[in-house]
Structures are given as structure tokens and as C-alpha cells.
């Protein structure tokens, strides 16, 4: 059997730690039980360790404990996926709200429909060939309902503000929240007014004409539905919409650009501080604010490697410098001599070839 060692369940990353510990326990269950059985019978182990092994074995073979571990595994798996989705750098607030709602719906469904891990042990008296101690099913259901109700209540209280005010209005940035057909002429009008009222100082400082945004919002909806939004004739992304309607609706698109730049969680802030510590180290502690900002932008907001053309950056690097970059530098102590007209890498110059 492949050994799966138990792992810690505490620390700041308690959620992935607990999930990994449960996963190792369930996947290596047969090996762990076999190890505890041999340990409690071994004569070369002192009495205290044999007593601990006997106690752990009794707990491990308890059907109620194993079923609750499977329930925790299914629940924490959904929470871990939610955490990963929220930590994506391209995740928006609208996507975060959708992920939150769907995760809570799946967890609540576990009250009436067991998850994949729990189904494997719910209607059987053995697991991985190990006979389990029978337990009261009503007690398991009571514990399951208490766990799920408490978890869903905490999620609702913690994220109650996403269903009202500006955060709810920001769902317009997700095309999944748009109706398939323009059945309502006033769709999104109230949300756009909330966003204008909240972000008015920011928009005015950027030179956006906020008075034109409501009319441009109507034009934007009409143009998109007329272009086949419901039929999927074009890619439903904001870069595509910008290319199509930037000339008709510049102000409302500036509003949506501002909304899309707001990160869904603080994960982006933590990444920024982490990169800043790497860039501004003890050896580079006198970096200016402008230089540090440019370096952070290069690290955090680079274009895709397929779309990046380094020619302009190379030209700036060669020309925009106080001292010469010495592009014709020849190594003095190279492995190949320069007496024969060769460069430090052994290649012949163009003048000598001519």
C-alpha cells in the first residue's frame, strides 16, 4: 500500500490543511487501520503507545466518525473550490457572487442528497474492506444538519451585503446575469443609476460625462441584442463590446472598465505586497516610487507572451539611458582572442567579411 502520512490541520491555511488531512485519511484508510492493528499487538512497543493505537483504532472503525469525515470532505471540497475561484486574478465581483451562490446551493443540497464521499459509506457496514461499528443514523443526520445549517448561516451573514446596493448593481458586468432577450426595456437602469451615484467623483476626475451614461446604456443594450446577443453570434466579452461600440457608447464603457478593475477579494492586494517585497529588497531599498510602480506593473500586469512584442522595449532600453549601454562591448579576457578580427563570441565582424 502507498503510504499517505497524516498532515496538520491548523495554521493560517486551515482549510486546505484540513481537506488534505481528511483526503489522506480516507484514501489511506485501510493502511492506517492495518498499521494501528499491528501496533496494538506488537510486543516491542511500550504500553502507552499500544493503548494510544487501540484508542485511535476504535475511533477509526466507528461508522459515525467515518461518515462525518466523509461529510466534511465533501463540504470542504466545495469551500476549497470557492476559495480558489475567488483568488483568481481575473475574477470579478459578479463572478464571485455567482460562485458564492452556487457553492451555498450545493452545500445545502447535501442535507437531502449526500455527496460523493458520503455515498460510499452511507449504506454499507464496511469501508475499504474494514468492518465498521454500527451507529445511530438519526444522530448522524442531526449532526449533518447542524453543520450545514451553521455553515450556510455564517456564509449568509458574512456576505449579506452582496445582494444589495452597489455590489448587487455590479452584477451587470457579468453577461451571465443579462436576460437572453431584451424583454424588459428598463433592464439595468436602476443599477446603472446606483453605480453613477457611487462612482461619480471617480468618473468626473477621469473626464467621463456622467449625464450621457443612462442614454448610452440604452444604446448599448439595444445594439448588443440587435447584433445577436441572444443567439451568440459574437463573443460575449467586454473587450469585444469595446471594439464594437466604443465609438457609440464611450462613457458607459468607461464606467464598466472601472468596475472590471475592482478585484473581487484581497488576494490581488496580497499578491501585490508579495511582489513588492521581492522587487524592493534590502539591496534595492532606494527605489523611487515611480520606478517601483513601473516594476510592479511589469510583474503583475504583463500582456500575454503571444501578444508581446519586445522590440519597442529593447529600443527604449538602448536609447533611454544616462550612460551608454555599450552594445559593442568586447570581452577583454574572452576564451577566444580578438586578434584575428573576431568578437568575444568567435564571430567575424561584418566589416572584415566585406
- The conformation of residue 213, written as its DSSP 8-state character, comes to H
Q: Is the pLDDT of residue 342 over 80?
A: no
Q: Is the pLDDT assigned to residue 197 strictly greater than 50?
A: yes
**How far is it, in rounded angstroms, from Cα 252 to Cα 213?**
5
Q: Which residues contact 36 (CB under 8 A, 6 or more apart)?
A: 53, 54, 56, 57, 60
- Of 275, 218, 281, 223, the C-alpha closest to 251 is 218
| Of the listed ranges 66-70, 275-279, 342-346, the one predicted with least confidence | 342-346
Q: Dig out the grid coordinates for 307 from the structure.
A: 501578444
pLDDT of residue 226: 85
Give the pLDDT score at 284.
85
76 pLDDT more than 60: yes
* End-to-end CA gap in the chain: 71
Picking from 180, 179, 215, 177, the residue whose alpha carbon sits closest to that of residue 196 is 215
Instruction: Give the residue among 58, 236, 224 at the shortest CA–CA distance from 135.
Output: 58
**pLDDT recorded at residue 183:** 59
Q: Between residues 86 and 149, which one has the greater pLDDT?
A: 149
Residue written as grid cell 483568488? 87
What's the whole-model pTM score? Answer: 0.72
80 neighbors 19 (Cβ within 8 angstroms): yes
Q: Residue 35 pLDDT more than 70? A: yes
Mean predicted confidence (pLDDT) in 316-332: 66
pLDDT at 344: 43
pLDDT, residue 349, reads 43
Q: What's the mean per-residue pLDDT of the chain?
A: 84
* pLDDT at residue number 208: 92
Task: Say yes or no to pLDDT of 348 above 60.
Answer: no
Distance CA 311, CA 36 (A): 65
Q: How far, in Å, CA of 160 to CA of 307, rounded?
A: 40
Q: Any idea which of 130-139, 162-171, 313-322 has the lowest mean pLDDT?
A: 313-322
Per-residue pLDDT for 345 more than 90? no
Q: Average the pLDDT over 206-213 and give the result.
A: 93
Long-range contacts of 156-164 (CB under 8 A, 24+ apart): 156/104, 159/100, 162/93, 162/96, 162/97, 162/100
Asked whether 210 and 204 are in contact (CB, 8 A), the reply is: yes
Average pLDDT over residues 314-338: 63
pLDDT > 90: what percent of the chain?
Answer: 36
Does residue 325 carry a pLDDT above 80? no
pLDDT of 252 > 90? The answer is yes
Spatial CA neighbour of 40 closest among 29, 28, 51? 51
Does pLDDT of 320 surpass 50?
Answer: yes
The answer to whether 212 touches 249, Cβ cutoff 8 Å, is no
The whole-number average pLDDT for the span 133-145 is 88
d(CA 129, CA 132): 9
Amino acid at each position: 500500500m502507498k503510504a499517505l502520512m497524516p498532515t496538520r490541520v491548523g495554521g493560517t491555511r486551515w482549510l486546505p490543511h484540513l481537506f488534505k488531512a481528511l483526503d489522506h485519511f480516507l484514501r489511506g484508510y485501510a493502511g492506517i487501520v492495518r498499521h494501528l492493528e499491528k501496533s496494538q499487538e506488537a510486543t516491542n512497543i511500550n504500553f502507552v503507545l499500544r493503548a494510544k493505537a487501540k484508542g485511535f483504532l476504535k475511533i477509526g472503525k466507528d461508522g459515525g466518525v467515518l461518515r462525518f469525515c466523509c461529510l466534511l470532505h465533501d463540504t470542504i471540497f466545495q469551500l476549497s473550490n470557492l476559495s480558489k475561484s475567488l483568488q483568481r486574478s481575473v475574477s470579478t465581483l459578479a463572478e464571485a457572487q455567482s460562485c458564492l451562490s452556487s457553492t451555498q446551493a450545493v452545500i445545502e443540497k447535501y442535507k437531502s442528497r449526500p455527496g460523493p464521499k458520503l455515498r460510499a459509506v452511507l449504506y454499507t457496514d464496511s469501508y475499504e474492506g474494514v468492518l465498521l461499528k454500527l451507529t445511530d443514523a438519526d444522530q448522524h443526520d442531526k449532526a449533518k444538519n447542524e453543520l450545514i445549517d451553521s455553515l450556510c448561516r455564517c456564509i449568509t451573514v458574512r456576505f449579506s451585503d452582496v445582494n444589495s446596493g452597489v455590489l448587487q448593481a455590479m452584477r451587470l458586468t457579468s453577461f451571465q446575469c443579462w436576460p437572453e432577450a431584451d424583454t424588459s426595456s428598463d433592464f439595468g437602469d436602476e443599477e446603472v443609476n446606483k453605480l453613477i451615484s457611487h462612482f461619480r467623483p471617480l468618473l468626473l476626475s477621469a473626464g467621463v460625462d456622467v449625464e450621457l451614461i443612462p442614454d448610452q446604456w440604452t444604446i448599448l443594450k439595444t445594439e448588443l441584442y440587435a447584433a445577436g446577443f441572444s443567439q451568440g453570434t459574437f463573443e460575449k466579452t467586454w473587450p469585444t463590446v469595446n471594439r464594437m461600440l466604443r465609438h457609440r457608447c464611450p462613457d458607459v464603457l468607461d464606467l464598466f472598465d472601472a468596475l472590471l478593475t475592482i478585484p473581487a477579494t484581497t488576494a490581488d492586494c496580497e499578491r501585490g505586497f508579495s511582489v513588492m517585497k521581492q522587487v524592493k529588497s534590502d539591496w534595492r531599498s532606494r527605489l523611487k516610487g515611480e520606478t517601483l510602480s513601473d516594476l510592479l506593473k511589469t510583474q503583475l500586469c504583463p500582456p500575454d507572451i503571444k501578444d508581446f512584442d519586445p522590440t519597442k522595449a529593447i529600443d527604449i532600453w538602448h536609447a533611454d539611458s544616462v550612460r551608454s549601454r555599450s552594445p559593442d562591448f568586447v570581452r577583454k579576457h574572452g576564451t577566444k582572442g580578438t586578434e584575428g578580427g573576431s568578437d568575444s563570441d568567435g564571430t567575424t565582424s561584418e566589416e572584415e567579411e566585406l
